[in-house]
Amino acid sequence: MATLNPNPVFRALADPTRRAIFQQLSRHGEQTVHGLTRHAGVSQPAVSKHLTVLKRAKLVRHRRDGRETHYRAQPEALAPMVDWLNLYGAFWRDRFDRLENLLGRMDP
């Protein structure tokens, strides 16, 4: 399993507004900057800036249609972050330790 650099994804999603934009696109599909601005609670230039960061992290793609630009989420780009989280499967490893301990105490 190739481990991609998760930094751009983490950085992009560390900001609550960008997370909200990403979530909005994930849930409701393709939208324009105007549409996103209505939900974001920040100005349109701010939304555009956030979209640039999301695009750089490949979390968002865009396509032009006349004068409008449509954005959509690319949740596949979360994969490096998920891979990174996998390294920290600490919960399950801890539980395996506890299981080992229990098996030693159980009747055969």
Partner 1 sequence: MSNASETSRALVVERVFPHPPQKLWRALTDGSLLAQWLLNNDFEPVVGRRFQFRREPMPNWNGVIDCEVFVVEPFKQLSYSWVAMGLETVVRWTLTPADGGTQLRMEQSGFGPDREANYKGAKYGWQSFFNVLERTLTDLD
Nearer to partner 1, 67 or 88 (CB): 88
Nearer to partner 1, 11 or 45 (CB): 11
Q: Which stretch binds partner 1 (CB under 8 A): 30-38, 45-53, 63-71, 95-103?
A: 95-103
Examine residue 64 and tell whether it contacts partner 1 (CB under 8 A). no
Pick one of 64, 66, 67, 92: the residue that binds partner 1 (CB under 8 A). Answer: 92
Radius of gyration, alpha carbons of the chain: 20
Beta bridge partners of 34: none
What count of other Cβ atoms lies within 10 Å of the Cβ of residue 60? 23
Question: 68-73 and 31-32: which strand pairing?
Answer: antiparallel
